[in-house]
Structure 1
Amino acid sequence: MPSLSHRLIAFALPKVNPPVVIRDPERLRAALVAKNRSRQTTPPAWLEKDWDVTVERIGSGFPVYVATPRSGSFTRTLVHLHGGSFTAIAHDRQWKWAARLARSTGARLVFPAYPLAPEFTWRDSVPALTAYVGGLCDEGEVVLAGDSAGGGLALAIALGLRDRWRAGEGAQPARLVLIAPWADLTRSAPGTEESAARDPWLSLDNHDTYALFWAGSEADLVLPEVSPALGDLTDLPPTMLMCGTHDMLYAGAEALAARAATLEWPLVFEVGHGLLHVYPILPVSEARGALKRVAAFIRG
């Protein structure tokens, strides 16, 4: 049974964030563009207490924040891609999850502030991030991670790095960590409607609008850069996949794990029975154990 803290969060979420069906996608597009032009993912103030934070600019000039332990010592690099339907800046909880995971695995933290939809699409992020992370892989051990939309983005980047590796042009990440990844924007996974019916947080009614914002066109929805779960999943690094059963994206995670089993992709699928979307980064009791298990997976 989920913990008391989890049950309280599950009860409160639909009250605090009541589902609102999108009636006018173009009006929402304009509102999101205006909102995102006035805000930016930036490191929280508390991060600089224990980390030296620098910024690098890639692609069209978007920032990538690099947090190095004050000691200057690290054994690997953790790249974390944040979620938020590709339209929202990173939440403090996502920074905390990534920083705790980096600290517990002796890693420096790399946290990209990628351009947000709907003003931008995957074309403004995936190629630049693939090249950037590829450079990090050539320098040393890299763990590539992401939550929700960021998990799908991480998998898309991993596919590009796998292709680069196949061509003999560089190394792959050592590990992937996918927390409830939004990796199939076509919602073609069997059982998606049933998963959505159990989810008190995410809305299937709004899924296609946000998917199209990121894809840019219906034709692009099936591309591996947009829906990597539908792509060639062979030759990928060892992966840990976590998803709760009370998550609209659970059906997609289940389908991804099933494909991995047929392809000999070394993937550990941890099912959170009765748990919410991205439960490992929420303020719930189950998150502590999830962090420990992911850290153990990274350390090998």
Structure 2
Amino acid sequence: MKISPLWKQLITERILKTVIRKPSQFNLPPNSLRLALEQLCRAFPQNKEVEIRTLRLAGLRAEEIKPQTESTQLIFHIHGGAFFLGSLKTHRAFLTQIAARTQMQILHVDYPLSPEHQHPEAIDALFDIYTTLLDQGVQSKDIILSGDSCGANLALALALRIQQEKLPQVSGLILLSPFLDLTLTSESLRYNAQHDALLSIETIETGIDYYVPKNMDKSDPTISPLFADLTGLPPILVQVGSKEILLDDAQRFKERAEQANVKVHFKIYTGMWHNFQMFSAWFDEAQQAIADLAEFAHQLDQD
């Protein structure tokens, strides 16, 4: 029996709220949550038409996910997980779908997680990855920085660090369901609190406590890049769901980027929750988001 799209969405939201959101409201050890999330993410189907190769870059474990054909662009993706969750395993299937749809190579790394490693260790490690790529002869114009949730935070912070260090800048940024304001002043944290099926305020509060050193101001642009000077950044794609508690992080960023004369491609996907793009096997909106992402990446390649 075929399930209607509405019922499929309602059932999925109920499952997510039960198995992910509800447990996140309890003070469980990070390692237990990491293992549980990896097991849950095994439900996402991998695309079999791409190759996955393990490697090490700048001392970090990484994966290279490649389509069968030669690709001219490299998408350097930074996974989400509120700064203390997520791994190669949680995002592998999702990134195989992006590699297949874009026909571009994906680089995915296991960066240092909190609370074992607080700011700025993650961004320092990711910066080392970027300089290693440049040293290996990869041209900056052939690199797209990408990230989901807190990974979008780190991707944007990395682009700003590249600019600060006066290194060659990447060709573009892809920010999926971005978590950019760790001061938690976005209104959607409250008005979408009961609507976001995946992410809870408790999870991001825990992530902030783990990630930010006690003596640091959470509005520091290296921690909350929403407040950074965005002038001079390359074109940016921003995707967010209408039910996300981080909806306003994305909308406020769009406004600030446009004020800084940055080219922004921004889209809200109706009825979608946090990181909905990972559910492309089951939802048309997520499939469309990946198609939109591919179109943006191909445009950067032509430019």
* Aligned mates of 1:285, 1:47 — CA distance in 2: 17
* Superimposed CA distance per residue, residues 83-127 of structure 1 (whole angstroms, 9 cap, x where no aligned partner): 111222337562223222223333221101111111112322201
Q: Distance in 2 between matches of 1:158 and 1:213?
A: 23
Comparing 260-269 with 126-135, greater Cα deviation is found at 126-135
2:78 & 2:151 partners in 1: Cα distance? 5
Segment drifting more, 86-95 vs 104-113: 86-95
Contact 1:247 1:275 in 2 (8 A): yes
Change (3 A) 1:16 1:34: closer
Measure, in 2, the Cα distance between the counterparts of 1:253 and 1:236. Answer: 16
Q: 1:259 to 1:115 in 2, by over 3 A?
A: same
Unmatched runs of 5 consecutive residues or more in structure 2: none
Mapping of 1:103-114 within 5 angstroms?
103-114=100-111
Any residues of structure 2 matched to 1:88-127 within 5 Å, and which? 88-90=85-87, 94-127=91-124
Q: Separation in 1 of the partners of 2:6 and 2:285?
A: 7
For the Cα contact (< 8 Å) 1:52–1:70, is it kept in 2?
no
Q: How many residues align?
A: 287
**What does residue 289 of structure 1 align with?**
288
Q: Which amino acid aligns with 2:61?
A: P
Cα offset for 1:205? 3.8
CA–CA distance in 2 between the matches of 1:46 and 1:192?
Answer: 32
**Equivalent residues of 1:83, 1:147 under 8 A apart:** yes
Aligned with 2:65 (options 41, 62, 67):
67
Q: How does 1:1-300 map to 2 (within 5 A)?
A: 3-20=6-23, 28=28, 31-32=29-30, 50-51=50-51, 53-58=53-58, 61-69=59-67, 73-90=70-87, 94-136=91-133, 139-140=138-139, 141-164=142-165, 167=166, 170-217=167-214, 219-282=216-279, 283-300=282-299
Query: How far apart in 2 are the matches of 1:82 and 1:216?
Result: 21
Amino acid at match of 1:14: K
Q: CA deviation at 1:279?
A: 1.2
Query: How much identity, in percent, do the aligned residues show?
Result: 24
Following TM superposition, by how much is the alpha carbon of 1:198 offset from its aligned partner in structure 2, in angstroms? Answer: 2.8
Structure 2 vs 1, CA of residues 119 and 235 (structure 1 numbering), >3 Å: closer, same or farther? same
Determine the C-alpha separation between the residues in 2 that align with 1:105 and 1:220: 39
Residues 17 and 125 from structure 1, CA distance in 2 versus in 1: closer, same or farther, beyond 3 angstroms?
Answer: closer
Structure 1 pair 34/7, CA: closer, same or farther in 2 (3 Å)?
closer
Distance 1:3 1:189, change over 3 A: same
- Specify the code of the residue in structure 1 equivalent to 2:130: V
**Structure 1 CA distance, aligned partners of 2:264 and 2:46?**
34
TM-score, structure 1 length as denominator?
0.83
Contact 2:46 2:96 in 1 (8 A): no
Query: Contact 1:257 / 1:269 at 8 angstroms: preserved in 2?
Result: yes
* Distance in 2 separating the partners of 1:186 and 1:267: 23
**Larger displacement relative to structure 2 (233-242 or 61-70):** 61-70
**Aligned in 2, Cα 1:224/1:245: closer, same or farther, shift over 3 Å?**
same
Offset of 1:46 from its aligned partner?
6.1
Question: What is the aligned-residue RMSD (CA, Å)?
Answer: 3.2
Unaligned runs of 5+ in 1: none
TM-score by length of 2: 0.82
Give the CA deviation at 1:180: 0.3
SS of equivalent to 1:128: helix
1:257: Cα distance to partner? 1.0
* 3-state SS, counterpart of residue 271 of structure 1: strand
